[in-house]
């Protein structure tokens, strides 16, 4: 077998090896069809079965009932920054946004083009090193929805539990922690996630929307921007990203085979603890960048005593097969993204490398 690296990149990110092998097995001829999934009609029987299976498996994983529709769209989470307000803000044309990082800022930027945005809390003054407390949220009971980012990919913070919004629908950008644990779907109006961090290849965007909210989508919207059109056409209004949906479906089966999201979450907690313990027990050599209670299980951010050492760390790590450790260009430092597919063994070896590096430097 070709040598594989320990891929700690924030996204596009690591996929389960089992999924890659499964796709490889069917690469030339998907289940005897004589074609790769990429080569077949999205309206044919074979792909129809793939997308229906993928929808059903996602419902099983998260416990999604038929009050919700699942869409497989394109345009990334970035297009959802626009689609959410275009569809859900009317008729009141005002929405609440909780700002915990750069992605939330970008969501706000697009929402402002549609209507009034009320920033109900922001932790920008703390350099986004924490998640606001419920008591800090200045929620408007008349808002069309409340938008939050469940995991802040760049800053390494994550909500332990959802903000409470009463009867106002909760909208979540879950791009970097989708399916890392089970959710209580009753709390949500809409969840969206680009696939390339924790689900599959770049190109697919998953949107889960409570069906009653579809009434808000106006016929005057541009067709692709309208959730109702996509629901009515079962994600086939236009050609969907067929290969991406297929791979996401294999990832869902991988999660189901492992025992589902409770088992995944247990593994994620254990894995993240191995790394955070190493940081906390380094006598201050490695310093976590966020407050402890808001630490992300997916993106572990930390610093070394100075930038020269950080550069050396990344370089030597790379020679040892650990790739993608450089923090986001806007914040620097180290970021180890340990999504669902990243193996515990890789985290343990990274910790060993960190111990050695500290001793030698």
Which has the closest alpha carbon to 232: 249, 248, 219?
Answer: 219
Among 7, 100, 144, 176, binds ligand PLP (CB under 6 A): 176
- CA–CA separation, 197 and 307 (whole Å): 27
Active-site choice (159, 177, 197, 326): 197
3-state secondary structure of 51: helix
| Residue 11 touches ligand PLP, criterion: CB under 6 A | yes
Q: Could you give the 3-state DSSP secondary structure of residue 46? A: helix
Choose one: 75-83, 109-117, 218-226, 304-312; the region binding ligand PLP (CB under 6 A): 75-83
Does position 321 interact with ligand PLP (CB under 6 A)? The reply is no
Size of the site for ligand PLP (CB under 6 A): 12
CB of 16 to ligand PLP, least distance (A): 19
Sheet holding 287-288, edge to edge: 287-288, 299-303, 334-337
Within a 13 Å sphere around the CA of 106, how many CA atoms are in the beta-carbon half?
13
Q: Residue 100 interacts with ligand PLP (CB under 6 A)?
A: no
**Contact at 8 Å (CB) between 166 and 186?**
no
Stretch that binds ligand PLP, among 55-63, 170-178, 219-227, 318-326 (CB under 6 A): 170-178
Q: Is 217 in the site for ligand PLP (CB under 6 A)?
A: no
Choice between 195 and 354, CB closer to ligand PLP: 195
CA angle, 202 as apex, 196 and 204 as ends, to 5°?
100
254 is catalytic: no
Alpha-carbon span 90 to 217, nearest angstrom: 8
Q: Which two tokens stand for residue 351?
A: 């910790």
Q: With H, G, I as helix, E, B as strand and everything else as coil, classify residue 89.
A: coil
Residue 82 in the binding site for ligand PLP (CB under 6 A): no
- Per CB under 6 A, which region of 13-21, 157-165, 173-181, 241-249 contacts ligand PLP? 173-181
Q: Look up 103 and say whether it is catalytic.
A: yes
Catalytic residue positions, numbered: 103, 173, 197
Residues that bind ligand PLP (CB under 6 A): 11, 76-78, 103, 149, 153, 173, 175-176, 194, 197
């Amino acid at each position: 077998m070709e040598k594989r690296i320990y891929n700690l990149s924030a996204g596009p990110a690591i996929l389960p090896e089992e999924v890659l092998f499964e796709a490889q097995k069917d690469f030339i001829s998907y289940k005897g069809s004589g074609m790769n999934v990429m080569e077949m009609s999205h309206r044919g029987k074979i792909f129809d079965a793939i997308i229906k299976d993928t929808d059903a498996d996602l419902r099983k994983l998260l416990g999604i009932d038929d009050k919700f529709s699942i869409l497989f769209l394109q345009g990334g989470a970035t297009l959802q920054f626009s689609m959410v307000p275009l569809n859900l803000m009317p008729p009141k044309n005002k929405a609440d946004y909780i700002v915990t990082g750069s992605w939330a800022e970008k969501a706000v930027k697009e929402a402002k083009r549609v209507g009034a945005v009320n920033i109900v809390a922001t932790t920008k003054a703390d350099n986004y090193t924490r998640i606001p407390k419920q008591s800090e949220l200045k929620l408007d009971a008349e808002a069309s929805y409340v938008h939050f980012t469940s995991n802040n990919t760049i800053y390494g913070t994550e909500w332990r539990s959802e903000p409470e919004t009463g009867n106002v629908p909760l909208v979540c950008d879950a791009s970097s922690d989708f399916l890392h644990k089970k959710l209580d779907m009753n709390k949500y109006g809409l969840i969206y996630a680009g696939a390339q961090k924790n689900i599959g290849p770049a190109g697919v965007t998953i949107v889960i929307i409570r069906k009653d909210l579809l009434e808000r989508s106006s016929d005057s919207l541009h067709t692709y921007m309208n959730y109702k059109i996509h629901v009515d056409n079962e994600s086939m209004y236009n050609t969907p990203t067929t290969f991406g949906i297929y791979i996401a479906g294999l990832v869902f089966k991988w999660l189901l085979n492992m025992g589902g999201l409770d088992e995944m979450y247990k593994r994620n907690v254990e894995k993240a603890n191995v790394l955070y313990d190493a940081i906390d027990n380094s006598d201050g050599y490695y310093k976590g960048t966020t407050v402890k209670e808001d630490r992300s299980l997916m993106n572990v951010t930390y610093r070394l005593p100075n930038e020269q050492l950080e550069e050396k760390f990344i370089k030597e790590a790379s020679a040892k097969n650990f790739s993608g450790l450089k923090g986001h260009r806007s914040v620097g430092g180290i970021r180890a993204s340990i999504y669902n597919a990243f193996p515990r063994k890789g985290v343990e070896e990274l910790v060993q490398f960190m111990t050695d590096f500290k001793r030698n430097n």
